[in-house]
């Protein structure tokens, strides 16, 4: 059994990221639905999706910069 700590860190970060979004969407929207009803939950869902657009663009930009830097530093 090998101990690849970088792979473990990457896997853990990915799972934390997915867990946070699942918690936000499931618990957050579930509470909105329970307290305010379905129309408010749909509105909350649309707001959460709208907030993911700039986050996704920033993440795409950062991955692009990482890719460019790795290609430029292949000495």
Q: Burial level of 11, CB count in 10 A (0-12/13-18/19+)?
A: exposed
The total domain count for the chain is: 1
**Around Cβ 25, how many Cβ atoms within 10 Å?**
14
pLDDT digits (tens, 9 = 90+) for 17-72: 999 999 999 999 999 999 999 999 999 999 999 999 999 999 999 999 999 999 98
Q: What are phi and psi of 3, to 5 degrees?
A: -115, 90
Q: Which residues contact 30 (CB under 8 A, 6 or more apart)?
A: 41
Q: What is the pLDDT, as a whole number, of residue 74?
A: 80
Confidence band for 4, pLDDT divided at 50, 70 and 90: confident
For residues 59 and 1, the model is more confident at 59
Note down the domain range covering 42: 5-72
- Is pLDDT at 1 greater than 70 in this prediction? no
The length of the chain in residues reads 75
Q: What is the pLDDT, as a whole number, of residue 75?
A: 66
């Amino acid at each position: 059994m090998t101990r690849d700590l970088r792979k473990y860190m990457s896997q853990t970060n990915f799972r934390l990221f997915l867990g946070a979004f699942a918690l936000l969407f499931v618990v957050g929207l579930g509470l909105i639905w329970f307290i305010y009803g379905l129309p408010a939950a749909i509105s909350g869902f649309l707001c959460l999706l709208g907030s993911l657009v700039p986050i996704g663009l920033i993440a795409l930009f950062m991955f692009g910069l990482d890719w460019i830097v790795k290609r430029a530093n292949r000495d």
